[in-house]
Chain A
């Protein structure tokens, strides 16, 4: 007798759905004759019969989704006895106790009483908890994604699929239940590890984690940007004494009134916005054989958060003063970290600023946020010895650097733009703007 199993259609494919049985129980099939059709995440296929003979039993009905390797049907060669009562059957039931559900119940009816008993006994023994079968650790990519999106700790979800597997519906109903009872919120999600048992030598030294959704999106986006743009880079050094003094003066009253700290970012954003209006080609987009020059400024602000990096967009900074920009950036950053951004708040940027400074970086080479044409990084503000009027002085200095798309921007323009930002930061009186 031949067991027909759910085939694997790719290394990362863990399950498939029976679309259609092309033969009925009792039909005769030839080897390689199409026997059934399955669909996986992305592809449908008809599956040829692995053997010739009679289709004696269909174990999984149409429409059901089961994991790779699950027994789907039995084919008995001509002259061979049908499955029930064959000597290896009890052992088989013990080796593969995951076959619960209606299909197995049907199969059980045809078995000898003793055999059925063995199968039943084997269903509960060493599983981690009664409701989880040995296959419960197999997760489909969709389930994993859903769990990540909703921050579901899968160890708390009861699987109702074949062998206790967690299905999409299990996750969704868990989420629904959690939302109606917020007090019972799940703890922070543990990384979902689906690695095969590591060899003893490497135990604990390596961890294999499926690529989280956000990480995957960032990876795609970054790689694509480098492919599409002709990236070049330059930097200026800015004397931040002007900004530092002002910030020191207003720090306390600002925090008291606004409820959040005044950082350097709004100053840089304000200075950059003016420079973008002065040099709009830095604020443009190459669209096919056309250049879209934007005479408004939507500033992308790179925000790091627990899942990685996100770039919310502060729209219309050209209509805002320093205070408005500071409030806007704070609002976006808070909501980004709370996972509360709306989709249109991460789109439509014309230029991006990233600020690795708080993490101690001295100078950075960022990747352009497509379809924009440039991205500015400002790093650590620190005291450095500088030459001023033939004397060495100690000043708060910072490197402002910019990656830009050489398809649209040339070095001269990039330098002029950065010099303008530098000049703004060094000479502007921001006090009025703060309205304190």
Chain B
């Protein structure tokens, strides 16, 4: 079976660090070095704006966002604005999708991982036929935004709300969709479904859907060199 590295930094990981290391991993992968990888982590509060962000998708001023203790970053993925923060399980799959990648299938597979994992904790989610992501009714529980480096290696990924404080989303129009709301697994399950609870569930479903085996880094732990963790 195909193997991939599972990278699980502890604590809240600074967005810029994670972004830089994700790109470094992808570049290595493009050179044919290293292994496929899945990074699972939590960020401190940060708003990221993809290529298709528009000014009216940000409701708060940058000053107000900073005053609230969050950062704002403009990045290279598709889509518009989203939020990352404590209580949200963020996954960055850095996978070599081959010379003729089926990007749509890749996104569907990511959605499938989340749908199955949510069902494991008793929450029924579904796809939208128009928008990327995983939904409960008209509310998005998991945002998905993917970019391929050199039409081959995947970057960015998914952000699954577990115990996320959803009031952070007041600052933005998530993904530019004014009429849709957001939700978290905890809210839908009627109990606290934490990031820690979801990590093993997501790992298992990811292995199943992508038909690979995720292996934690051996000794010495390479994760320390991949990602620097900062406690908020």
Binding site for B on A (CB under 8 A): 7-13, 19, 32, 34, 39-48, 142, 145, 213, 216-217, 220-221, 224-225, 227-228, 286-290, 292, 343, 347, 370-371
Contacts and interface: CB of A to CB of B under 8 A. Distances in A.
A43 B124 contact: no
A243 to B, nearest CB: 35
A370 B122 CA distance: 11
Nearest to A343: B138
B181 interface: no
Greatest chain A CB density within 10 A among B123, B132, B148 is at B148
A221 B137 CA distance: 11
B149 interface: yes
Nearest to B150: A48
29 contacts: A8-B100, A9-B148, A11-B105, A12-B104, A32-B150, A39-B52, A40-B103, A41-B132, A42-B144, A43-B106, A44-B51, A44-B76, A44-B78, A45-B101, A45-B103, A45-B148, A46-B147, A46-B148, A213-B129, A217-B129, A221-B126, A225-B124, A227-B116, A228-B119, A286-B122, A287-B122, A288-B193, A289-B122, A289-B189
Interface string B69-109: 00000001110000000000000000000001111111100
Interface of B: 51-52, 76-78, 100-107, 115-116, 119, 121-124, 126-127, 129-130, 132, 137-138, 144, 146-151, 188-191, 193
Among B105, B124, B149, B193, the most chain A Cβ lie within 10 Å of the Cβ of B124
B108 to A, nearest CB: 8
A288 to B, nearest CB: 3
The B interface, classified by DSSP as helix, strand, loop or mixed, is loop
Contacts of A39: 51-52, 78
Nearest to A42: B107
Residue of A8, A44, A216, A220 with most partner-chain B CB within 10 A: A44
Contact of B148 (A44, A225, A287, A371): A44
Contacts of B116: 227
Contacts of A19: 51
Contacts of B101: 9-10, 45
B102 A9 contact: yes
Nearest to A32: B150
A69 to B, nearest CB: 14
A167 B137 CA distance: 28
Contact of A9 (B76, B104, B150): B104
Contacts of B132: 41-42
B191 A43 contact: no
Contacts of B150: 32, 34, 45-48
B146 A370 contact: no
A19 B50 CA distance: 12
Contact of B151 (A41, A48, A343): A48
Given A227-B116, A288-B193, A289-B191, 6 more contacts: A7-B151, A8-B100, A11-B102, A145-B129, A228-B124, A288-B122
A26 B102 CA distance: 32
Interface centre among B107, B129, B193 (most CB of A within 10 A): B129
Given A46-B151, A48-B150, A213-B129, A347 B137 contact: yes
B103 A224 contact: no
A43 B104 contact: yes
A56 to B, nearest CB: 22
A285 B104 CA distance: 34
Contact of B107 (A11, A43, A145, A227): A43
Contacts of B138: 343
B51 A220 contact: no
Given A46-B150, A220-B127, A10 B105 contact: yes
A247 B77 CA distance: 63
Given A46-B148, A224-B126, A286-B122, A10 B78 contact: no
Contacts of A47: 150-151
A13 B189 contact: no
A52 B150 CA distance: 15
